[in-house]
Amino acid sequence: KDYIIEALQFHLLKNLKPFTVSQTIRSTPRQSIGFQKVILMFYCSIKKSGVIYWYDNIWQPAPKMSKNVDMSFLTLIKDQFVLAVSGVNLGSKRQPIEMLDVSLKSPHWIPMMDMLVCRRFFGVGSLNNCVYVIGGRNDGNSVLNSVEVFDVNTNKWQMVTSMSTQRNSHGVGVLNNLLYVVGGFDGRMYLNSVECYDPSLDTWTPVAKMFKCRIQCGVGVLDGVLYAIGGKYNKTVYLKSVEAYTPSSGVWTTIADMHFCRSQFGVVVSNGLLHVIGGHNNGGYLNSIEIYNPKTNTWSLKTLSKDVGRICSGVVVNRPPRFKMYND
């Protein structure tokens, strides 16, 4: 009986108050093992605000967000809930944050509570069902070292210990229950420094520096290795180089370069491979995916059927109920 009542309340929530994740955890449908996966991607170009698409060799429109934003970071909670954390638009005090339950037959974005600090050009990582929003710039254009976290169990944001370094346009990765923040810009110079956050201790610790300074780089984690991919070395020099960090050795190593220099792209991990999607360089927007195989230390190149431009982020999710099946 309790579950029936809870299911009815679930469908009424959107008319009552902003949606929170923990209210729906028990309403998660049973899912069979071996669900096929697709990529949910947010991208934008010069001509339009950001849009959301499902991608699995073909493109299908995903539900539109309720607010028009030009940049948003997607992160996945409990293998079902996609949280979109968007940068504050200049002149606005609102910080659009929305959530999508990809298991529903008719998924739609639902607004959530605002962050505590207005910020843009930040980094986002999810760990232990919490979403961390790290650094960035505030509405006064100052670079931040502050960090806030959204806990799905309490449905609240709270501040945690700040980074040792102010950063914006940095990369974030999660490895071994730790958050790694890579590179960025501190308001004066491009950074090759890296620091690591332990949520159990609420402390930041510096780790080995990368070989190159990087902003707008991508970060991926695969088989216990943290990858810092591409980005920009300075205002005009784009990178195709890639570095790999293994916590057990505590050092960065260089691996094979990508085919193209690129920044502001999406990174997802699927089927034991790193996928680098879209982005741009000084030649314009890129309509390609580069796929890294760590076993062979090689990149393969694939052309996208759509000129997606700048991919801010993507997540791998279970294939939604209405997504058609296509062969490769």
pLDDT value at 37 more than 90: no
pLDDT at 39 (0 to 100): 81
Cβ(189)–Cβ(139) below 8 Å: no
Q: Please check the confidence at residue 254 and state whether its pLDDT lies above 60.
A: yes
Question: What's the pLDDT score for residue 11?
Answer: 38
Q: State the pLDDT confidence band at 4, using cuts at 50, 70 and 90.
A: very low
Q: Which of 98-102, 122-126, 261-265 has the lowest mean pLDDT?
A: 98-102
Q: What is the pLDDT of residues 186-241, one digit of tens each?
A: 999 999 999 999 999 999 999 999 999 999 999 999 999 999 999 999 999 999 99
In a domain, 258, yes or no: yes
Give me the chain's average pLDDT, please. 82
Q: Which of 27-36, 56-65, 119-128, 304-313 has the lowest mean pLDDT?
A: 27-36
Which pairs with CB-CB distance under 8 Å and at least 24 residues apart come from 186-195? 186/143, 187/142, 187/143, 189/213, 190/214, 190/215, 190/232, 190/233, 190/234, 191/165, 191/167, 191/215, 193/165, 194/245, 195/163, 195/164, 195/165
Residue 24 lies in a domain: no
Weakest-pLDDT range from 20-34, 95-109, 121-135:
20-34
Q: What is the pLDDT of residue 163?
A: 99
Say if residue 30 is exposed, middle or buried (CB neighbours under 10 Å; 0-12, 13-18, 19+): exposed
Instruction: Write the CATH number for 94.
Output: 2.120.10.80
Domain assignment present for residue 218? The answer is yes
What integer pLDDT is reported at residue 107 of this predicted model? Answer: 86
Tell which residue, 320, 247, 323, 311, has the closest CA to residue 52: 311
Residue 169: predicted pLDDT: 96
Q: Is 267 part of a structural domain of the chain?
A: yes
| pLDDT, position 259 | 98
* 19 occurs within a structural domain: no
Cβ contact 252:245 at 8 Å? yes
- The most confident of 3-12, 286-295, 306-315, by mean pLDDT: 286-295
Please state the domain count of the chain: 1
Answer yes or no: is pLDDT of 51 > 70.
yes
- Residue 323 belongs to some domain of the structure: no
Question: Which range among 48-62, 259-273, 280-294 shows the weakest confidence by mean pLDDT?
Answer: 48-62
Flag whether 109 is in a domain.
Answer: yes
> Does 97 score more than 60 pLDDT?
yes
Using the structure block, give the residue that is written with the tokens 């260089």: 254
> Phi then psi for 308, rounded to 5 degrees?
-85, -20
Q: Residue 24: pLDDT above 50?
A: no
pLDDT digits (tens, 9 = 90+) for 106-149: 888 888 888 899 888 999 999 998 999 999 999 888 999 999 99
User: Minimal CA–CA distance to 4: which of 23, 27, 22?
Assistant: 27
Considering the entire predicted model, what is its pTM?
A: 0.83
Range of the structural domain that residue 276 is part of: 37-318
Residue 52 pLDDT greater than 80, yes or no: no
Which pLDDT score, from 0 to 100, does residue 187 have? 96
| Residue 130 lies inside a defined structural domain of this protein | yes
Mean pLDDT over 43-61 rounds to: 72
Calculate the CA dihedral of residues 31, 32, 38, 41 and round it to 10 degrees: 20
Residue 94 pLDDT class (50, 70, 90 cuts) = low
pLDDT of residue 257: 99
Q: Which 3 state secondary structure label does DSSP give 3? A: helix
Distance CA 212, CA 228 (A): 10
